[in-house]
Structure formats: C-alpha cells, structure tokens
Amino acid sequence: MVTRANKIFESFKKYHFEIRHLTVFLIVIILFQLVVSFFNKTSMKKFILKTQEWYQQDSAERIANLTATSLELLLESNSQNRKLSEADVRKTVQNLNIILSQHLLHQNVQEICLLVSTDSSIAAIDDGLVLYNYAFNSLRDIPPPQMPHPEAIRLYKSLKDTIAATEQIHTVLEGRQTFHIFVPFVPRGEYVGSVYMKNTPDFSIIAEEMISNYGEISATYAGLIIFALLAMFYISSYTLKERNETQQLLFEEQKRHLAEQIMYENELMFTKRIYHTHHKAEKIMGFIKEDMRNLSSENIDIVKHRINQYSNFIARVIYDMKWYDPPLQTIRSAIFKTSVNEVIRFLVQNVFLRVSTTTEEYAFVLELDEKLPTVPINEFVVWEVLEPIIQNAIDHAGERRVTITIRTAFMPDGRRSCITVQDNGKGIEAWLLEMGNEGIKKIFLEHSTTKKVSPNQRSGYGCYIAYEIATQRCGWDMDVENLAEGGCRFTITIPQG
C-alpha cells in the first residue's frame, strides 16, 4: 500500500504548477462556488414559493372550513328549541353576524357569504338576520346582500353540482395567491349550499426573509472559501516564486556549466587536430629543407612552385593553431576556386611519393575527370580532407603491396561531383562500419582505430578529423565501404551549385 502511494506521489511530482495554473484554478473554484450558490438560492426560492402556495391554500381552506363548521354548529344547537324568545333570537342573529363578519377583520379575507339555491337563481347571504330567517322561518324571497358577490355566484354555478355530489371543499386559484374557497354547508346533515370565502394570504415577507437569510449565509460561506483560496494562492505564489528563483539560478548555473563544457570540448578538439597535423607540418618542413638543398638553375621554377605550396600549407597549419573554430569565410567563400584534381596530383606527387623508403610498398592510379568543376573551398582545407584518407589506405594495407586508385567524376544530371579513394588492401574491420549512437559509422568517430598503440599514444583521429571537416565545414558527404574483391573505398560527394 505504501509502495502504491509512493508511485502515485512520484507520478504527480513530474507536473510543475506555475502561478498561471493556480490563478486558473482559483478562478474556476470561485466561479464554481458562485454558480452553486446561484442554483442553490434558486432552488431554495422555488421550494419556499411552492411551500408558501401550499400553506396559503391550506390556511385559507382551514379558515373557510372553520367558518362553515361554526355556522352549522350554531344552527344545529338552536334548532333543538322549537320556541325561542325574542332575546334568544337576537342573540342567535348576533352570533351569526359575528361569524360572518369576524374573519373580514383579517387582512387576507376579502369576502365571505353563504351561497344557497332559490327557486329561480342562486342567492348570496351575508347577513345574520337573513340567514336566521332562511334557516328557521323558511325564507325563500331572499333580499339582496349587503355587498355584491357576482364572482362568487358565477364560480358557484359551475361548481354547484360537483360540490353537491362530493360534499368536499373546492378551491379555485386566481393568479398566484387569491383563493376562491367553496365549503359544503350541511346543517343537520342536509346539503343546503356552500360557504364562500375569498382569501388572499400573503406570506411573501416570510419567504423573502428566509431567502435573504440564505443569501447572507451563502455570501458568508462563499466569502470564507474565497478568503481561504486567496490565502492558499498567496502562500502557493510565494512558494512558487521561491522555486522559480531557485530554478532560474539552477538554469543559469547549468548554462554556465554547459558553455564551459562546450568551450572545453572545442579546445580539446582543437588540441587533437593540432597534435594530429603537427607531425605532417614537420614532414613538409623536411621536404622544404630537402628542396632548398637540391635547388639548382635547372629546377628552380618547379622547386619554387612546390616550396610555395608547402609554405602555404604550413601557413594554414599555423593559422589553424590560432583558432579552434576558424571563421567560415576562411573555409568556404566564392573567392576560392580550388581544383580538386590539382590538389590530388600535388599530394600524390609531392607528398606521398617523396617518401623514398615506402614508395615500393604502394602505388597510385589516378583517374581524374578533367570536367570536374572547381569548388569554393580553401585549397588547403581540401588537402586536410584528402590527406588523412589516402594515408589511411597506406597505413592499413597490410604486408602486401597496395594499389591506391583515386577517381574524380562529375555528374551533370545530379549536379554533383564525386571523389573516390579505393585500395586493394585487406579492407576495414566490420565493427568499424557499424553505426554508432550518433548515427555515424564508427570509423568516423573519435579514437576509432585498429592500430596497436600504447596507452599514451594518440590515434584514431585521421578519419575522424577528415569526416568532421568534410561534413561540418565544407558541407560534403562522406561514406566508406568494403569491396567484394578486397580493400575498401571512401566516397566523398560534393554538391554543385
């Protein structure tokens, strides 16, 4: 269980909440609380209004029923005395008037009368003496009531048969709170008519007070929630501010560390490149010294050209020692119009074939396309690309004599040129042709070599430096493969235009 809880906690740790997230969360909570309060208040108001309507009708019907019952009891109690004195008659009439008028004192009761059927129509009785004569003296010519009751008579005509058949209270609602109540009048068990009461009960003050109190409670509750959320927001904002400041400091530190690391790697690469080329510069200086010793009037022009090329190469090496990341315009520019074929011829004739002790171990075959266009690359940068590739063919040829074939070709349809350096040696070990983690064949990676060297000896830089200069600085493509008949082939593709 603890492990599961830890997993859940760890899954939430990867999410970083910012101030904007908490702001949106706060706004959503507040809006949610306001919406809930609004709907609760609306529901409460509907409930109170429905309760009020039910209670109004029940209250009005109770008053009307009480009035009808009082009249019935009074008439029944007096019917036992066959002969009433004049004082008893006055007392009975007085009681009837009290019953018919006392409810009119209530602000909600607007009309009250007894509706009875006569020979030709329906009459309304709202006077105690008329009611006494109708009940005890069989009065049939009922005089007009003290106040007209046309609405009561109209409604009673439509409900008369239903009330007589069911002998139940019937209520007609007019508007929202005006009740026309008809209570069956059944003195001594005989249906005579209906007691009518028009009642307009008003409990809006109570409903408004209840809704107002609920609104105050909701507002107080919402205010407390908002205050708590604001406090949480302030605390979270302060915490996040400190976290952001800490993260910013961490990012700045990582930025400085990354910049230092990049600078260190560039300087390390610079050191490796210079270490790799310094012995070549020493060899070229030896060639210059030898040419100076053998200088004569017959070979002065050839030697001058050769020494000039050697000197330019030495100058390039010295220039590279000044920059670990030389400016791009010193490598690629429209002012450079280098003939790749001339660079290949010079390297073969004046560098590799000048080493008299090894010329019997290898031979060169040049198949150069004279239609090959010039390239906008510094001549000695091209030299730095081709020289390690040719030297690799010599170093890894094995004990047998190796033939190195260098070809150039121009494909006008594809707008590209190709340089291939091919040998018939023992080839490249399979593991060096596998792809590394960077998506580059391992032979082009740093420290990739098959030479048996001591731990302090630096090796494995030749193909690596040639690949880096060709692809990163010149914008060329380089690949290598083993041949079925033996040996290997390096292919450099130069896009044109």
**pLDDT for the residue numbered 322:** 65
In this structure, are 182 and 330 located in the same domain? no
| Residue 153 is assigned to a structural domain of this protein | yes
pLDDT computed for residue 455 by the predictor = 40
Element (H, E) at 183: strand 178-185
Q: pTM for this structure?
A: 0.47
* CATH code where residue 127 lies: 3.30.450
3-state secondary structure of 453: coil
Q: Answer whether residue 140 is part of any domain.
A: yes
Is 316 contained in some domain? no
Pick the last residue of a domain from 202, 229, 249.
202
Domain membership of residue 304 (yes or no) is no
SS3 367: strand
pLDDT at 457 over 50: no
The whole-angstrom separation of Cα 154 and Cα 133 is 25
Q: Residue 420 is part of a domain; what is its CATH number? A: 3.30.565.10
- Give the residue from 202, 230, 264 where a domain finishes: 202
- Indicate whether 460 belongs to any domain: yes
Give me the pLDDT at residue 421, please: 94
Residue 188: domain span: 20-202
* Residue 312, domain member (yes or no): no
Q: Is the pLDDT of residue 468 over 80?
A: yes
* Boundary-marking domain end, from 150, 183, 202: 202
Nearest of 431, 443, 348 to residue 394 by alpha carbon? 348
- What is the reported pLDDT for 368? 93
For residue range 199-237, what is the model confidence (pLDDT) as tens digits? 887 666 666 777 777 777 777 777 777 777 777 777 777
In whole angstroms, give the CA distance from residue 419 to residue 410: 9
Q: Examine residue 66 and state whether it is found in any structural domain, yes or no.
A: yes
Please indicate, yes or no, if residue 247 is contained in any of the structural domains. Answer: no
**Exposed, middle or buried by CB within 10 Å (0-12, 13-18, 19+), for 487?**
buried
Q: Is there a single domain that holds both residue 333 and residue 472?
A: yes
Range ranked top by mean pLDDT from 216-220, 390-394, 418-422 = 418-422
Residue type, 259: A
- Top mean pLDDT of 165-179, 221-235, 409-423, 459-473 is at 409-423
| Number of domains the chain is built from | 2
**Average pLDDT, whole number, for the chain?**
78
pLDDT at position 380 is 83
In this prediction, residues 456-462 reach a mean pLDDT of 53
How much is the average pLDDT of 376-384?
87
pLDDT at 16: 53
Same domain membership, residue 46 and residue 190: yes
Residues 192 and 334 in one domain: no
> Do residue 476 and residue 332 come from a single domain?
yes
Closest CA to 271 of 109, 45, 458: 458
